[in-house]
Amino acid sequence: MEQLTHFINGKRVAGTSGRFSDVYNPATGEVQAQTPLANAAELEAAVAGAAAAQPAWAATNPQRRARVLMKFVALMNRDMDKLAEALSREHGKTLPDAAGDVQRGLEVVEYCIGAPQLLKGDFTDSAGPGIDMYSMRQALGVTAGITPFNFPAMIPMWMFAPAIACGNAFILKPSERDPSVPIMLAELLQEAGLPDGILQVVNGDKEAVDAILDHDVIQSIGFVGSTPIAEYIYARGCANGKRVQCFGGAKNHMIIMPDADMDQAADALVGAGYGAAGERCMAISVAVPVGEDTADRLVEKLAPRVEALKVGPYTSGNDVDFGPVVTGAAKENILKLVESGVEAGAKLVVDGRDFNLQGYEDGFFVGAHLFDHVTSDMEIYQKEIFGPVLSVVRAQSYEDALGLAMDHEYGNGTAIYTRDGDTARDFANRVNVGMVGINVPIPVPLAYHTFGGWKKSVFGDLNQHGPDAFKFYTRTKTVTARWPSGIKEGGEFSIPVME
């Protein structure tokens, strides 16, 4: 059995806590490796190494720091196939989707290569007699991030790339479900010239997370994962005086107006609903056609497309639309929710419950499901299923459809399909959701914009990547300086103001 490791001070380090977690191959259901689960002492070693290395890194010219990231991009491109294979083997997603996971992270690294420009401060000459005033962005010190299983390459990079570019050290606690790729990325960064200790990868579960939350030296925490854990991390991290941003779960609605191109909408829904087996925080899990006729036309187009989806292991290459879900427990949970939908009276138009893949009977495969006539009081509507299950909720009017998206507790992403500019514009302006697509089903912003939801999908102020990341990973310092120092003004007893 392969024993995985942590990555501390520039090398792979075996776990010493004596606790391990099984890492599965979701396609076969076999345990393929064990990952160590760190205790507080192991975290302490990682933090000490990071704290020792960070001041010299922060003092390194930002262009030199950016060059390390530039080399890192080249190395990721060199090793893309290897990274994608390791990612698919632990996560289950198809190889093209795994390469996309690496690529969307890599794009944020490319953005961070602009650090010398992004970190430039402001300067006011002659703010007073002989007085200049300038602001600069300084690194926080040792920062940390806790990431989910569903994007084991992209989300760690969304955090550590800006953190490192800004001159911080970063402690990454990846998901224990698929921990190999984060270690491979740390090794590539070291090969690119990153000093030892600046990126530490500490594998673990709640014990390691709690140690991070309570560690005095750690200045900031980024979290991406489910909403209950996001809430917990935000509350405990803030109570401990840290800067915290947490991104949680989702239930993304797509509104389909009567004038929409129904083939385009159905194709979009199939990709956005079932891609990566629905294990994406930006997956569309609710389709809201407006009007009975629109709903009938949509379901008629959707059903054959969903039935035709090909489910299989990543080793089948491009012949597969989506792979297994991540664990047996995830599969069980999805099928339980499907049963609850049937019991609540939703119509299961495409029933994937008996899906079985010959030769992979023990794999965590879940067939595609399509529900129609779902209502807002049902559990399958309220909960994030995180599986290949799409619910059609029929709305009688545009206002009803908008109201559904507005009233749901999550507000990560949403989309509208229409040919009418007025409706699209009204939707984009009014909907209380962080990322909106107009005839685009998965509106994930590119690296130089920012990513983040609203409502229970987020806890904290700033978004991920783009300019917000450079704010999150730095503190502003403003200096007021008087030169020449010889100017005499006498004592000032009241607050200086501009007259």
CA atoms of 194 and 175, how far apart (whole Å): 23
Q: At what angle do helices 154-165 and 62-78 cross, to 10 degrees?
A: 160
Tell me: does residue 257 bind ligand NAD (CB under 6 A): no
Residue of 111, 234, 247, 472 that binds ligand NAD (CB under 6 A)? 247
The smaller minimum CB distance to ligand NAD, of residues 206 and 425, is found at 206
Q: Name the minimum Å distance from CB 457 to ligand NAD.
A: 5
The mark string for 25-64 relative to ligand NAD (x by CB under 6 A, - otherwise) is ----------------------------------------
DSSP 446: P
* Cβ atoms 25, 89 nearer than 8 A: yes
H/E element, 247: strand 243-247
Among the residue ranges 180-188, 219-227, 299-307, 424-432, the one whose residues contact ligand NAD (CB under 6 A): 219-227
- Report DSSP letters for 10-61, one per residue: TEEE---SS-EEEEEETTTTEEEEEEE---HHHHHHHHHHHHHHHHHHHTS-
* Cβ atoms 184, 201 nearer than 8 A: no
Residues of span 152-211 touching ligand NAD by CB under 6 A: 173, 175-176, 205-206, 209
Tell me: does residue 15 bind ligand NAD (CB under 6 A): no
The smaller minimum CB distance to ligand NAD, of residues 36 and 225, is found at 225
CA atoms of 454 and 439, how far apart (whole Å): 21
The smaller minimum CB distance to ligand NAD, of residues 363 and 453, is found at 453
Residue of 281, 299, 415, 416 that binds ligand NAD (CB under 6 A)? 281
Residues of span 393-422 touching ligand NAD by CB under 6 A: 412
Residue of 26, 141, 145, 148 that binds ligand NAD (CB under 6 A)? 148
Tell me: does residue 146 bind ligand NAD (CB under 6 A): yes
Tell me: does residue 474 bind ligand NAD (CB under 6 A): no
Tell me: does residue 225 bind ligand NAD (CB under 6 A): yes
Phi/psi for 98 (5° steps) reads -65, -40
The smaller minimum CB distance to ligand NAD, of residues 199 and 250, is found at 250
CA atoms of 130 and 124, how far apart (whole Å): 11
What's the residue count for the chain? 499
The smaller minimum CB distance to ligand NAD, of residues 275 and 289, is found at 275
- Residue 241 CB coordination number (10 Å): 9
CB proximity list for 296: less than 8 A, separation 6 or greater: none
In 3D space, the residue among 174, 178, 172, 148 whose CA is nearest the CA of residue 314 turns out to be 178
Q: Which residues are catalytic?
A: 281
The smaller minimum CB distance to ligand NAD, of residues 94 and 175, is found at 175
Q: Interface residues with ligand NAD (CB under 6 A)? A: 146-151, 173, 175-176, 205-206, 209, 224-226, 229, 247-250, 281, 384, 386, 412, 453, 457
